Structure 1
Amino acid sequence: MSGAQEQATSVLIVEDERIIGFNLRLQLVALGYRVTAVAASGDQALKRIHEQRPDVVLMDIHIDGDMDGIDTAARIPDDWRIPVIYLTAYAEQSTLDRAKTTRPFGYLLKPFSERELHATIQMALERRRVEEALRESEKRLSLALDAADMGCWELELPTRRMVRNIRANSILGLPPEEVAGSWDAFLNRIHEEDRHAVDRAFSQAGFTDQAQVLAFRSVLTNGTVRWLKTRAKRFPSPTNGAAFGDVLAAGDEAKVVGVVQDITEQRAVEDELRKAATVFETTHDGILILDVDMTVLAVNPGYCAMTGYTLAQSRGRPVPMVSAQSADFSASVERALRREGHWRGEIAANHRDGHPLALTVEIAAVKDANGLFAHHVMVITDITAIRQTQRKLQHLAHYDHLTNLPNRLLAAERLEQAIHGAMARQQRIGLLFVDIDHFKTVNDTLGHGVGDQLLCAVAQRLRDTLRPDDTVARLGGDEFMVILEGIDRPETAAGMAEKILAALAVPITLEPHELAMSASIGISLFPENGRTRDDLIRAADTAMYAAKDLGRQGYAFYTPQMTIDAVAFMTSLSDLRRGLERGELVLHYQPQVTLDTGAVVGVEALIRWQHPDRGLLGAYDVIPIAEQSGLIIEIGTWVLRQACRQAQAWRDAGLPALRIAVNVSARQFSSGNLPLLVSSILQDTGLPAEALEIEITESTLQSGYRTIKVAEELQQMGIVLAIDDFGTGYSSLGSLKALPITRLKIDACFIRELPDNDDDKAICDAIIAMAQRLRLEVIAEGVETPAQRAFLRERGCSEAQGYLFHRPMPADAIAALFIDGDHRRATE
């Protein structure tokens, strides 16, 4: 070796025998090496190494001191990369095994020649140069792998040991320090659905020179699934074998080396692109790609199906549905795209075959990498069916489904519009509320099917009667509303009401029935009766009820007194409801006596109201309000239950078995469920059915078949039926014959002037005679004088009640009658 001294390779000699060290120095110098020092112990050697950093260390294994040469070499920092060549006169295997752990660069067995020395040093220097070059290459590779977000791994086939770099561990979700592990442990981290494919691919890599590329899922420790891609290749040569396990078991020294990359995000992007492509091809919406001038570049099948235009008919042309819009529309779209980058709206267009379409259109501008508009994406949705459905729903929401007239909601809107128009034109409006008389009777007797047909016929009659600009609406049930706009005087509204009444009076044929209908009409006027919609409606409704009270088949104009009366009624109704809730209603009982003996044989239950402010109120302060409001059903039920409970209580107290009479309203009697109610009450109270008498008015007899059915059911239960206030209403002999009536009750108005009034005498004579012929019992009410009692007894009336005998009294007073022996009054 030749060259200047400063360029010579520096060598440190570690040798405890001075002569050998001296000779070795002479040999090295002769070979051109620079000897930095000769150290006799490990401590000296380490000190010289730290101070001089020699290029090569010639280390005698057996040296003086606490450390031998192997221990000394082990303490040289690895990152200094100083080649160590061991010198020894011994070659025991144990010593060599120890030396091998320090990864020496060579061995020289003493004695050795100068040539062996030089060759060993040169080989060590070359190995260091190669290793440093490899380290630099690995460093560059590591930087490249980091830049590419890749990790690298190496699989030693014989040992099934897998070595990974830190980046690979990060990708696999392993701790950075866990750089090595078994193949099986790695395979267990693969998703079970991909594990077989990975095993097969690595098997192929184990005995072929061809690289294997594979994407698979790895399950991290926290359960997260990541998509990975690996490229694996075997070095240096293929190994025969059918399975990777066989390759590993074969003991081949080859390795499989590869890189791994996390492609989860890439897969997600690819999935999104696939989904987008699928959506483009399969969605029912129309999707168009347009250039900057809004010319079609591409369309999807959904667009073609929606519009009837093919791709060939569309490409290179404007979108026909958009281009057919107005110039103002096109300008507004262009401004929105330029200002905001998108536009969305609804347009009316035509299919290629001409039928109309309702479309929502959304256009988005797409910019290139330089921020310039490159093209547009348009999405078109066919909402024709939705709009058609909405129109149908709108119709259903504003029109009556039975008559197809405007309903209450639309009528209110039109009335509001009419009021605004009348204000502007200073005109009148007439508002008519039309209520069909006795419509419930038609429903109850002929059925709801006939009732519906009748309502449709009435609606058509109203349409035919009104002027073209008038509005007729059905408010619900049998109520209609008519809006008369532009009337000049109230008489015009009255004339229209008369036309309506005349039209409805013409019989309506509904096979096999022919029905002549009447109506009650209430009229309010704008501006006289109100300047708001609600005021006019309230006034017309109030007037309609006034028309009913006048006898139906007529009309009535609204007057302020009606409102006063209506407010008073509502106040009384609210007061009555509270009274019912608070238990202010009570029953008094008026005894009924036999005219022969004067003995009390029964009582009539009469309702009273113990008002906290007005004192004790009679039935006339309760019944009319209850009848008109519908509260009569609830009050009637309470009266029935309370009267039966009291009658049984008297029996339980040892009083004679009195019959108790209870008035039942026509509404409750014809409701249909009265027999069931009475049966339940009798069962709850224990009162025998024959002890209960139910009184009904003559008007109840007009309810037809349902009344007969209810009466028969009550009679079969053993209930006694009586007609109250007989002679004051309307009842036919046929009704008396058909109904299972037991008693007639002569009204007090025919008793009051007996025996002086000849008309009253004749009426009473006729009623009593008819009752006897029909084998009915007769009871007179309102008997106040002995002369009245004598006349009735003489004519054959069997029972009576009135002030002559007993006034109505509380329940405890009835009991006192019998206790005091006052239950039998003199008959003379």
Structure 2
Amino acid sequence: MRPHAASPSTPGAGGIDIACLPWPAAWLDPDGIIRTMNKALGAVLGETAGPGDNFAIAVQTTDAAKLLLALTRLMDGAPSTLEISLQGRDARHFIASLAGHSTVGSKDGSVLLQLTEVTELRRQLREVQERESRWNHALVGSTSGVWDQRSSGDFYYSSIWRQIRGLGPDDPFPPTMEDWLELVHPQDRERVLHCIERQNAGDPDYSVFQYRELHRDGHYVWIECRGACVERDENGKPSRIIGTDTDISARKQQEEWLEGLSRRLKLAIDISGIGIFETDFEAGTSEWDEGMRRIFEVENDCEVQIGGFWESKLHPEDRARTLAYVASKIAELKPFTDNYRIIGRDGGTRFIRSNSLPFMDHDGRLKMIGVNWDVTEDQRLRQELEQQKMLAEARNAELERTRLEAEQSALHDYLTGLPNRRYLEEKLEEWRAGKGTLGSGIAILHIDLDRFKQINDTLGHGAGDAMLMLAARILRENIRITDFAARIGGDEFVVLLDHDGATATLSAIASRIIDQMRQPAFYNGQECRFGASIGIAHTLTRDIDAKQLLQNADIALYKAKNLGRNRFEFYKQASRTLLADTNRLSSELLRALENDEIFPHYQLQFDARTRAVVGAECLARWRHPTRGILGPDKFLPIAEEYGVLAQIDGLILEKALRNLEVWREKGIAPPKISVNVSARRLTDPELARGLADLHIKPGTVSFELLESVFLDRQDAAVMSNLDMLRRLAIDIEIDDFGTGHASIVGLLNLKPTTLKIDRQLIEDVPDSQEQRILVKSIIQIARSLGIKVTAEGVETEEHARILARLGCDVLQGYGLARPAGFGDVSERLRNRKSAQG
């Protein structure tokens, strides 16, 4: 893109002088072409666009369509406002206001564009969203604060942990143990140090302890600390300690309140109006003091007779029992306590407690002394105490439930509910120590989902999450209750199985898992297909290090994926060597890109009827410094794994265009060249700008897309880039057609220029009537849609003759021309030109 300057300071077509506006503004044609713009917009766009350019090229691909649609609707008379993002690595975001002639008085269809930048607002919004979602994956709903301390000096304290202490997100915390102890209550410091020492040592009796710490506001809060050392250094010293802190101040206040209530109850008993009596059974009278008379509502001058007043006050439901009990104790001459109810003057019931002592005096007279007190209030307090106790127990149960939920969240994957990597490591340590449900023989299945990233990229993370949950369910259904399955990250799972030495059993389980995961699944009406690759390592003893066994399974998994995926492999020592070779080759590939060792080979394509050269497919080759020329099968899978496949695609295109220019200068250039494009490159928002910079001559380049990857995609970024390719007059070809799962509807949506029938369908055409019918059907479908057909894998003259008769347009294969370097292909093109001349 050439640099532009802001247009002169002249009024726009609508009569408004935008030069005096402080914000970015421009007058556009109805189709988006910039007529004039002010300096503010020129500063924003830089060299991206200027007068005479379509403003949409400065907008990110995903927003360009929205802008063009808004311009179209604007001509109906309604102004429009939308949010757009401009091109660039650090994209800037704006609110674009569009007004047509009906709102600004224009007579010639001009559009007034005004931009208001909202980049900072968007950034602030993302920061808020990130803070709000931090704990969505752990301790959801927990009231406990999480802390993570490392011997390296790295510390993490959650927001709840800080809230407990009255600290804000940016407030500093004492950097040393000595500084922190100054915040601990003086009476708790010595005990806290001891508890921390025992907790770090792994003493289960000290996994939980309580102490008081100074709140920022100046008061002390009670904290219940739960923690454990999860990592130790080579000397056995703690290197990482993780735990939770819970504010139990409310619980402590409740406990203190209950203790106070008990003290008040005791005091009430001690100082309440106790009534004292002494009964002389021989005289038939009982002397009551003032307290007794107050309790039983008796006048002070009234004499109390045995067998009369007291008995009449007893509650009818208690009378028979109480009289029989008192009589039996008197007969035994033993002290006793009794509780009973009486009826008051107002008809209400009151509760009485009595302590009595029957005895014989020195004259041999039977007497009894004792005390009574009204415990009605005591009974009420007891009932209240029971209610508070039940409430406290319920609160404690809730706290325990919260603690268990926190432990569950810390050890399980939030999405699938399977144990997480931390739980897996604990399980392996448990097995190594001879604990838990797993026996001494153990097998590890390391499982990686195939094609999962493509589902995420095409149908979104919702579909990806649904497939992960499906994979977790399949694993649960195919293992025993004593076995163990975990999701350790992304689309990776690990299964631990009891192993008795029978590898056939492990093979059967792995095959069953692979078969079930290969079955089609549906998400929102869309078919999703994925598979699984499995690496297996096993042992019959605990002599091997658990981490080494897990690494062996990982190496076996790599081998399974390297051999074509959707399969399982057992670990062998040779696999470790293969992994080392692959890692070395990947490092060499990255250096090869730096040293310009990747270059194109060309395979010529011919008109099926005239055999004239109509094109050339560019194929990547690697000039390895020690291994010679390597084909794509040796390094493209590694390039895809390390994310440099798109870079190789772009490099091959640039070199092919330079070679094409040389051929043009010599007058021997084929009409067009075709290059492969990877999935990652087709989703690149910068693809349009990169291709525009190459100044590709229209109709001379086509992009080949794999049918199995692209044909049924509905990804907005992909479709936008495909539209951009059409605008640049770059043809679209579907490679390996007939081997994927694409639909005719998907073919219509993509609108390719050419279909390339896969070599597997071409191979048996000379000998198979069914193959010829199938190829003919594909050609007829393409003809009806206005799509050309190229046949790959043309190995013989008979292949070429039959395919021409079936209506194929272009032929490509070893039988016509093998892939060759620039020099050899140039020589062949010169020879053909000489022969024709």
Classify the TM-score, shorter chain. 0.3 to 0.5
TM-score (norm 2): 0.46
Structure scoring higher RCO (CA < 8 A, sep ≥ 6) equals 2
Structure 1 or 2, whichever has the larger Rg, is 1
